[in-house]
Each structure stands twice: as structure tokens, then as C-alpha cells.
Structure 1
Amino acid sequence: MQLYNKLSAEERAKLIDEAGKDRLTISFYQYFKIENPTLFRNKLFIEWNELDVLGRTYVSYEGINAQISVPAENFLALKEQLDSISYLKDIRLNVAVEQNNKSFLKLKVKVRNKIVADGLNDDTFDVTDKGVHLSAKEFNEMLANPNTVCVDMRNHYESEIGHFEGAVTPDVDTFRDSLDIIENDLKEHKEDKNLLMYCTGGIRCEKASAYYKHKGFKNVFQLEGGIIEYTRQVKAEGLENKFKGKNFVFDHRRAERISDDVISNCHQCGKPCDTHTNCANEGCHLLFIQCDECAEQMENTCSTECQEIIHLPYEEQKELRKGKHASNKIFKKGRSEKLKFQKGNTVS
């Protein structure tokens, strides 16, 4: 019985090209009690593997967090499979704004302690006492209210390339880092301000809204379905789009364009740019913003040091990486003093 990937990313990409079939990138989450996460994980892997589902999914005792890709022709079969699970019946599936057949190249279903690393002790507060969920129209109305503080619950590298007008964007590396910072910054307004939160697909706000209510915030609201669902509703209902720039996503696409606004800059030359890349040096993999010109000149590396390393023989590169932990792996932190125009750095 196959319970793990047998194909490399390269082999899978070739098969996708040969199949010539359109795929849909989808995300969903649900908090519910799972008695045996490992058994549930294995069931999902077997059934999804048969449907040619790819992607990254986390399962824990508290629920599921899935970001996947499926052949368009298998979408209804996937929905039927999810509907057969009582807690996932009729669950909202966030379909990506921009599609790419190679958004995911492997199927990974992993058992984790939590479906989102929030650092919270769930036994200390009622995680079901969540904030009020708002549609895109309601969100826009709340955003226009002068008594509202809108907070981006994502990390710095996500909000840097796109965020809602007037939103507070904490300069944090992880979701857990933002929780205490936001509470401290807004401690004088727990009763007199509307706390309006949003994230990519809604999952981070689910836990955060309950946490902030526990901490004494009286008026807590969250964007239902996150930026992804907001964009769908804006297009379907002809609403004004209040989101500027790109929505960062955790797959090979790296981002979806929501508006034509470019609100960030190349970290190497400073020109307007909102395209993320990972340093081509396997021992670095720093996530940073790089324009086409710098990408060509620097060969997709973040520094001259890394550019020199990628020209070394492969065995020498492996030797340099030996015993070292690559702290800047894909989608992690993305900070470096080598990038003169990175947010927070001072240009010399």
C-alpha cells in the first residue's frame, strides 16, 4: 500500500506536461476533533493519490489544513470524497485566483501537533468563541469605519507585496510572533475599537479571533475565507477591490496578482517589483524580491557570495553545506543584510 511519494518533483512535472490536463489549485481548512490523526492521514493519502491530488496537507488532533492541486476533471470526485467525511461535508473550497498546473509537484499529508503553528495553549481559552465572520461587502464597510483597526495576520514577506488599504502589517517572521505584538499595540483600545483581521484563506484568523476575545477585545471581526474568497466575491459581485498588490501563496506560484499595484521593490536594486525568488544557492535558499534584470545579472542568487558558490563543482557545494543548517529555507523569514533595499535595511 503506497503511503508516500515515489516520484521526484521533476518526474511529476514531466507527467503533468505529458497529461496535458488542466489542474485546479484549492485550499481549505477545518477545526474538528480527530481521534486518530495518523489513520485519517493514511486514508486521505490513499484516496487522494487515486485522484491524482498533489499538495501539502497538515492533519492533527484539532483538524485539517490543506493546500492542494487536483485535475479539473477530478474536482467533483474530490468534493464527493470530502462530503463523505461528516466534518468536511459542504466545506468551502478556496479555488486559487490564478491557476498553474505545477503549483504542487508532490502529495504530502503530514501529522502535526497543530494545523497552524500558533504557539497557543488551547486549553486556556475557548477556541470556538470566534470573531464575527464578514463577507467581502461587509469587510469593505467595516474597513471604511474610522473606528476600525484592520490587522494583517500574515508574515512580513507576505504583506510586503500586498495588503489591504490602511491595514496594520506587523513586521514579524511567524504568525505566533504577531499575536502578542498586536495585543500590546492595541491594549488601550480593547473596548472602543473594532479589531478587523484577515489572512490568506482565513485559518489564522479562526484561532486569533478567539484568542483576542479571550484577551478582552470586545469587537472582533474576521474576513471569511481570507483574501482568496474576498477576491472571488469582489469579482462576482462587482465590489470595489480594497486589496492592493499580490496575495502571497505557499506553493510554486508564490503569489496571485489581485490588483495591478506594485507596492514593493526589488531587494537588490530598489526598482518597483513584487516577484519573489529563492536564492539559487542550495545552501542559502533565501526568499527575497528580485526583478528580472537582477535575476539575470545575479543568476537568481541573493549575493555575489552565493553567485560564486553556484559555479563551484557540485561536490564542493555539498561540502560547504555539510553540517550547516539552512535557516533560510523556502518561505522562511527571508531577511538578509546582503540585500540593501530590503524592508528595514538602511541603504549605505
Structure 2
Amino acid sequence: MSNVEAEPAALRCGAAVDDSRPAEEPRVDVLSARDVPLGGPRAMRVRRTLPQRSRTLIGAWCFADHYGPVDAATVGGMDLPPHPHTGLQTVSWLFSGEIEHRDTLGSHALIRPGEMNLMTGGHGIAHSEVSTPNTSVIHGVQLWVALPEEHRNTARDFQHHVPEAVRVDGTEIKVFLGSLAGSTSPVRTFTPLLGAEIVLEPRATVTLAVDPAFEHGLLVDSGDVRLIDTALRPAELGYVPCGTDAVTVVNESDAPARTILLGGPPFEEEIVMWWNFIGRSHEDIVRAREEWQAGSDRFGEVEGYAGRRLPAPALPNAVITPRGNPPRR
């Protein structure tokens, strides 16, 4: 998915570290989302929880958009023209609907509920995303992962995975990246990651063992959820710092609750993120934008999309300045 803001924020971010925090009960920080229009006269709005001022990364997860459920007829469906990415991987996960993906590798795939598509941008890739005529309701998440320095110019790649559901204590879990509840995804990543959909039955409680070297974020799609001892409402994300070896999730509602659990070890590198590009300096971003606008071979051509590609917005008038996560307490 593209970040189609006309004036995207210029971010230089890194995970600040302070290991002096004494052992204690994990505290959950609640991150609220902001609404962002996805473009067009009938713009579909998405709820963005990452990045934001209070936190820019959870592990290598650097971007989280949560959208729907929306009537496709009302918003005109999803139609994202070919647009570029560098220095990241995109993770597409739907709750309902169907989206047609095309990229400059020649990949042509359908994104369906419960099926993960992971695209590696690396040095440069472009793709389009269009909801199919079969789609009546659009609902899902779009996530980005920052690539570490040694791999940020890696070759383009595309992977598709359909995880099997596992059941634990009235809870259905689908692990699309990493390992959880005895289930492991075969999908390749460049840093250790966890990504899983967790659906709890009404009033269900589940305690899951997690890697204490990871920090975690639980994004609530639906239901009244309690993470450890903190209540979370739909569209909120609860952040749990490193040092936690188990998380308890409670559905306090009389209907199923759906959540997305993300995790990974703190990403220690500073990154610069602007529009759909991730680099290490302002100059990296300027160069990527110029090459996209010039139609460089760096990004290639998306075959089969009926329309023009998405132009890049204007760059900010200032050099991107550092902004990172708060120190771990």
C-alpha cells in the first residue's frame, strides 16, 4: 500500500535504548491512531498507528495502517496506481475483500483474507493494488518492515503464505511471520519478527508465551480487549517493552474480538522514512524520488495496470532531522 499523503512527514528514526530499567510488571503504553485519507475524491480513510510521535518502530515494524470495514461501492473500492518502495518489506493482510497485486517482478497475485503477501522493496520495486469486482467490503491491515543496513539494497522479492489456524483456550491464531503458540511461518525476513492474527471468542482469555528479547504491539481491530492489565479499544495499539515472556489477552465483550500481534527485537539503526521510501539519509530519499520521477530502471514497470503511475509528492523544504523512540524505562 502507498502512503498517498500530499505532504508526508519526514522522519529520521531509531530505537533509543536504556537497559537500566529494573525488572517489574510490564507496562502497556496505549498508542492511538490518526485518520489519513488514502487519496481520491472519495478517499478511503485509514487509521495509522505507526509511525507517530511517541513511537516510530516496534522491532523492525515501522508502519501500520488499519482500514475498514468500508463499503467498496461507497468509496469506489481501492485503486492504488503503481508506486515505489525502497529499503522495506510490505506485509498485506486482509480480514475481508480481495485485492489484485501487480509488481515489477512480474508478480500477479490476489490478496485474500487469511493469506499473507510479503513484498521486498530492497533497492527498489513498484506495485499496484486494486480491489476486485468481487469485493463488497474492504477491511484489513497494511504493514511495513524496515530492512537492516546490510540488506536494505537487496533484490526485489515476493512471497505468499497461507498460515494454518491453531486454537488455544477459545482463541484462533494465524501466524504469518515468526513463531507463536507452536506455529512457525516459513516466510523469510531479514530481522527476527512476529506477526499474527489473534481472534478471541466472547469472554475468552489467552496467555501466550513470547520472546522476552522482543518488544510487542497488539493492534485491536474489534472488541473490547484487555492486554495484561490495560484496556484497549478498537483501532488502538498496546505497546509492551522487552523483558516480557508472556502476554495475556482478554476479550471483555460478548462478541468475538480480533487483534494483530506484532513483535521483534528493538531496531537499533536510525532510518529515514518519507513517503514510500526508507533510507539512511536525506540524500537517499532525494535520490530515490528523483529516480522514480525520471522513470528509472531502479523501480521497473508494472505490467497490466490500466492507468498512470503515482507521482511522488514534493519534498519538504528542510533536511530531515532525527526523531526516535523514547528510551526504554
> For this structure pair, what is the TM-score category when the shorter chain's length is used for normalisation?
under 0.3
TM-score, L = length of structure 1: 0.26
Structure with the higher helix share, 1 or 2:
1
Which of these two proteins has the greater Rg computed from alpha carbons?
1
Higher relative contact order (CA 8 A, sep 6+): 2
Higher strand share: 2
